[in-house]
Amino acid sequence: MLEVGRAAPAVRELMSEVLRGKPGFEHEYPTVFGDRARGRVVSWNEDGRTDSACAILVRDLRCPEGSARLGLIGSVATAEAQRGRGLATRVLERAESELAARGCLASLLWADDEAFYTARGYTRVGAEEDFMLDRVLRPYLPTPRSVRPARATDAAAIHRLYRQHERRALRSRRETAELLAGPGMRVLVHGGPRGVDAYTCLGRGGDLSAVVHEWGGETEALLACIAANFDERQSIETLFVMAPLETADADARSLPGRLREAGIPSAPGILALGRLLRPDLALTALRRACETPQSFGTTRHGECWMLCGPAGTAAASDAELLTFLLAPRADRTALLQLEGRTGLAFPRLPLRPFLWGLDSI
């Protein structure tokens, strides 16, 4: 029987066993498994056992181009003896319908092996930029004199720095504090004359051991934190720094701007795999982003949406609607075709929301 609720011990056990091979992994995800967590789990239970489950979490994302409510899905797992019975497929479908009912435009998830999800309608969406810093750069970074490991009492200052990001998920101060206390993560802060003015998070659980996946604050102070990460982890030859993908004319004083200016190599990446859950919300978002919303019309034709403008009509599937809004690597090719066929303009699209490393479930 399918159930949606808080994570019962049997669900935690299943996920720990399948995804980590050991107990305790739930401490990495307090937004799902914590006492006051907003996240929920969808599970398939039979004869008192949990055979398959996944976690879900609703997140409101903000970015300068607009905002979107998205549903995160994580920790999809089926007990080894129960695989191939269609359980994960049913759990995933229920997770999607729950998130759709809670107003999520699309579901997002991360997978090492994408095949299971692409067969179930998921496509690559959104953008990020991954910088690769080689250890040979260490002498050119600022001295990490005022950098120290974060203490629990720094959480409020760190949350304030997090909130300065234009591209982020809305999360509470308590959630940030709980996430910072997760296992397998090194959080460093830089203490300036007015208190903490930068932080970096390296590693999370068993993952991202050479990746600064979340950071915030003043750029020089951040570079000092990065130097300290190199000094602490002598085994790291290349340190990866995840960042939102900015346009070429973005603030040159920001950390990505400074890294780009210094010639640090980077690669544009995707944000996640995504599936459109609410076409109605996607059409509203498209209309809102259209320069002339009064000349934007939509009708349904079989499996397709017909998008009409002054110059003509373009047909789009659900997946294409999602691509217009959250194009992989912010590529405007699909939007240019839409604009060409319809004569409509969507200058603010695609949206480029970003999920920092602490947000994944």
Ligand X SMILES: CC(C)(COP(=O)(O)OP(=O)(O)OC[C@H]1O[C@@H](n2cnc3c(N)ncnc32)[C@H](O)[C@@H]1OP(=O)(O)O)[C@@H](O)C(=O)NCCC(=O)NCCS
Site of interaction with ligand X (CB under 6 A): 18-19, 52, 76-78, 83-89, 111, 113, 115-116
Of 18 and 330, the one with the shorter C-beta distance to ligand X is: 18
Choice between 78 and 219, CB closer to ligand X: 78
Closest contact distance (angstroms) between CB of 150 and ligand X is 29
Residue with Cβ nearer ligand X (176 or 360): 360
Provide the minimum distance between the beta carbon of 123 and ligand X in the complex, in angstroms, as a whole number: 16
Least Å distance between CB 7 and ligand X? 16
For ligand X, the closer of residues 82 and 295 by Cβ is 82
Smallest gap, in angstroms, from Cβ of residue 95 to ligand X? 12
- Minimum CB separation from ligand X for residue 92, in Å? 8
Smallest separation, CB 274 to ligand X (Å): 14
Shortest Å distance, C-beta 84 to ligand X:
5
Instruction: Between 77 and 330, name the residue whose CB sits nearer to ligand X.
Output: 77
Cβ distance 96 to 275 under 8 Å?
yes
Phi, psi angle pair for 353, to nearest 5°: -70, 160
Question: Which residue, 82 or 298, is less far from ligand X as judged by CB?
Answer: 82
Task: Identify which of residues 84 and 193 has a Cβ nearer to ligand X in the complex.
Answer: 84
